[in-house]
Structures are given as C-alpha cells and as structure tokens.
Amino acid sequence: MNKEHTKILGAEEHDLVQAAAILRAGKLVAFPTETVYGLGGDARQGQAVAGIFEAKGRPTFNPLIAHLPSVETAQRYVQWTDQAQQLADAFWPGPLTLVLPLRDGHGISPLVTAGLKTLAIRVPAHPTARRLLALVDGPVAAPSANPSGRISPTTAAHVQAGLDGRLAAIVDDGACGVGLESTIIGLAGSRPMLLRPGGLAAEDIEAVLGHPLQQRDTQDPLTAPGQLLSHYAPNERVRLNATQAEPGELLLGFGAMPCDLNLSENGGLAEAAANLFGHFHQLDALNKPIAVAPIPMHGLGQAINDRLQRAAAPRD
C-alpha cells in the first residue's frame, strides 16, 4: 500500500472542519470516541471503506459500525423499532451499538455491512466525535484504529504506533474515558441479543428492557460476524487468572496485590476497563509474557474478561 503523510490534528473547531473535509474527500481519519479511537471513513464511499479494511489488514467479512451524530440521523439508515427507541432513549449518545435491518435507499456501501441486510449503528457521546460527525453530515464507518487482531487504541499515540502512514489524519483529543469498545445489541431477531459485551454493562441494558438479553450463539456466524477468537493480542503470550507472576512474566494486577502494573488498586471495574488496553500497550513494549490477575465477571467485568480471553487465545 502507498504510505502517506499522517497529519496530527487537535480538537479545535478549525481542526475538526479540516478532518471533516478530509473524510468527505474519501480519505481516512482516526478520531476519539469515549470507547476507543476509531479509524473513520465515509460509509457511503466504497473506496473509503475499502481503504479502512486495507489499512487495518482486516478481513472483509467482518462488518463495520456506522457512526452518526444523533438518534434522528441514525433512524434514516435502519428500520427503527420500539426497542431501539427504548435503548436509544436510555443510552444514546453512549457506548452502545445497535444492529437493525437496513432501510431501502440507505446509500451505505455494502462493504460496511459485509453484504449483510443489517447495519450496526452507534451515536457516540464523545463531544469531539459528535462535532466531527455533525460536520461530516453523513455516516462514518469506523472500526477501532488498530491493525486487525492487535490491541485497541485508547490514545492518539497508540493509533500512530499501529497505523502511521496508512491514514490521512489523526484527531488527538487525549485518552478515551471508557476504554472498551461499545456493547453491541442485535435487534434484528425475535429477541434482543448480546452480540458483544462492551463498555455498557449488560445488566444496565437488561434493567431498561425489563428482561434478560439472549446470549449469542457462538456457532452462528450471522449473529457475530468476524468476531475472531484471537484478538487484542500483545506480542508475547498472555496467561489468565494468575495470582502471581512466573519467572520472566510481567503481572498485570487487579485490586491490592504486588504486580508490575495494576488495572485498579481499589478493584474498580470502570477504572480497570479504562486502563486495560493502555496497560497492555505498556507491557507489550517490554516484550515479555504477561500474566493477568482474575477479574470478577459482573458489570464491566464481562467485557474485560471477553477481551482478556481473546488476548490469551491460541493464534493462527
């Protein structure tokens, strides 16, 4: 692929006007959201979307999320339902993605959905992301801004380290507050399904719906296309549920314990989620195997454990 000069932009209005113009010209711009940094491209321009897959080295069967500045704009692209309205009222803008059937005449490139008849949509809460999306005035497809299979980026420096020269610009607005990708809920079937645990706890969604979420069938590629078992992988091996480091290992701790880096000394799950990828990036730079302390399964712990299991999974 052709290397291009990657411009670093700030988050002032004039920076975002420039970033929006670059996106409308069909080029790629990484931008912060409250979950992770996204690698954005205009979802209506096939070449821009193809560029996202190329820059990440991402398999094209793995569909992307379309980002929109408001609930009203999101409704233009999908067949809206009462449950979608209920969840949007409660959690948008925020770290929640909804999968709904596409509307006719939507104008979204089929590369975004990997040919599926459904579209994943999200209205992020990060003010910089919202302003950029409003300026683009159209759907922006954005996966996490990291090479496919590697650790997700929660700072502009992470994006630059992984993708420099493969995108036109990076909007730098500091570290992401949530630190884990959005929770994805499928609303195209008979009952709402948890397609990916993420930065919004499943319990909070269930409380609004008034009933438990259906769990995804991991054997069915349609319910979670492209969610690969090995993902978020540091360079070296990852070992889970470790109470102490073996010789040569670095220990990533949780709660009060001796360790090399701690996700949350107080045992806070939101703090651990916000630190997870950044701490992984730091330990990764030391090129040693990583042992990780046990993390409880409730609340954001479900998504943290999901990412840890993928980081520790056997690789091809």
Interface residue list for ligand TXA (CB under 6 A): 33, 35-36, 38, 62-65, 97, 99, 113, 116, 118-120, 122, 142-144, 181-182, 184, 195, 224-227
Partner interacting with residue 185 (select from Mg ion, ligand TXA, none; CB below 5-8 Å by kind) = none
Cβ atoms of 198 and 58 within 8 Å: the answer is: no
Using an 8 Å Cβ cutoff, are 123 and 78 in contact? no
* Cα–Cα–Cα angle for 136, 139, 145, rounded to 5 degrees: 90
Cα 295 from chain centroid (whole Å): 20
Give me the least distance between CB of 135 and ligand TXA, in Å please. 17
To the nearest whole angstrom, how small is the minimum distance from the Cβ of residue 76 to ligand TXA?
A: 17
Q: Which is nearer to Mg ion, 232 or 254 (CB)?
A: 232
| Shortest CB 207 distance to Mg ion, Å | 27
| Sign of the Cα pseudo-torsion (224, 193, 189, 112, in order) | negative
The residue behind tokens 């979802």 is: 43
Dist. CA 259–CA 296, nearest whole Å: 18
Q: Using CB distances below 5 to 8 A depending on partner kind, what does residue 68 bind out of Mg ion, ligand TXA, none? A: none
Select 112 or 251, whichever has its Cβ closest to ligand TXA.
112
Label residue 258 exposed, middle or buried (CB < 10 Å: 0-12, 13-18, 19+): exposed
Instruction: Output the smallest distance, CB 12 to ligand TXA, in A.
Output: 21
- Which helix (DSSP H) or strand (DSSP E) does residue 30 occupy? strand 29-31
Smaller CB separation from Mg ion, 73 or 305: 305
Choice from 45, 73, 97, 144 touching Mg ion (CB under 5 A): 144
For position 302 contacting Mg ion by CB under 5 A, the verdict is no
Between 119 and 205, name the residue whose CB sits nearer to ligand TXA: 119
Footprint of Mg ion on this chain (CB under 5 A)? 144
